[in-house]
Amino acid sequence: MTVVAETAVVSETAVRRGPRTRADALRNRERIVAAAREIFVEFGPEAPLDEIARRAGIGNATLYRHFADRQALLHDVLLSIIVRTAKHAETVAVHENDPFTALRDFAHMAVDERVGALCGMLVGGLDEQSAEVTAQGLRLEDAVEALMERARQAGQLRPDVTVGDLLIALSLLTRPLPGLDCPNLDEVAHRHLQLFLDGLRSSPSAPSELPGRPTVLEDLRPRH
């Protein structure tokens, strides 16, 4: 998944070397951030940086030219996730006429991003949250609150549900249960998210068609 341009900061050296070098540096930085996002999902924020470099298809020296240390990389991965998720919330608000459908589309996109698990994981790994991360986090909260308020005003969303309720649910749904081997976690997350969203409606309606298939106990047993 392409990392948003907001996270790409090209070095002064790259700028002086001309447009081609600047474009190459930008692509390398985007590859590093995208690979780090995948690795952090799989192995956590302490994952080896050389594995991130390998996944990005670049050398360790290139990684360290862009990111001086793990903290710098964690910062940019977190920022890219928050910015992309906030932009999606703002976009669906503009392009989707039905308020609850807009909220639903945002929630499913956030599950795809593993936004709850990643943000919780990465914030814990940062020594200090930057002003930029804080500002973009507030932007995300405002965008989600706007989606929810629109659904409330349309009489589609329970009045006692908050942004915090939704974000906690997204976080729980994107974290695999310890000791359980669930190979289709993404499918399960979307299925359970739809069940949760049906519970947020302000009045009973026909149940949604759930994505994926039901989880059976065999899916949760260790595979050898």
**CB burial of residue 104 (10 Å; 0-12, 13-18, 19+):** buried
One domain, residues 60 and 101:
no
- Compute the residue count for the chain: 224
Domain stops at, among 35, 68, 101: 68
Q: Give me the CATH number covering residue 21.
A: 1.10.10.60
- Angle, alpha carbons 222-223-224 (nearest 5°): 120
Q: What is the DSSP string of 118-145?
A: HHHHHHHH-SS--HHHHHHHHHHHHHHH
Q: Give me the CATH number covering residue 80.
A: 1.10.357.10
One domain, residues 87 and 185:
yes
One domain, residues 147 and 184:
yes
One domain, residues 43 and 90:
no
Quote the DSSP letter at residue 6: G
How many domains is the chain partitioned into structurally? 2
Please indicate, yes or no, if residue 131 is contained in any of the structural domains: yes
One domain, residues 104 and 198:
yes
| pLDDT tens digit sequence for 144-185 | 999 999 999 999 998 888 888 888 888 777 765 555 555 566
| pLDDT tens digit sequence for 64-86 | 999 999 999 999 998 998 899 99
Percent of the chain with pLDDT over 70: 73
Query: What confidence category does residue 19 fall into, taking pLDDT thresholds of 50, 70 and 90?
Result: low
Q: CA 98 to CA 68: how far, in whole Å?
A: 45
pTM of this prediction exceeds 0.85: no
Domain that holds residue 64: 5-68
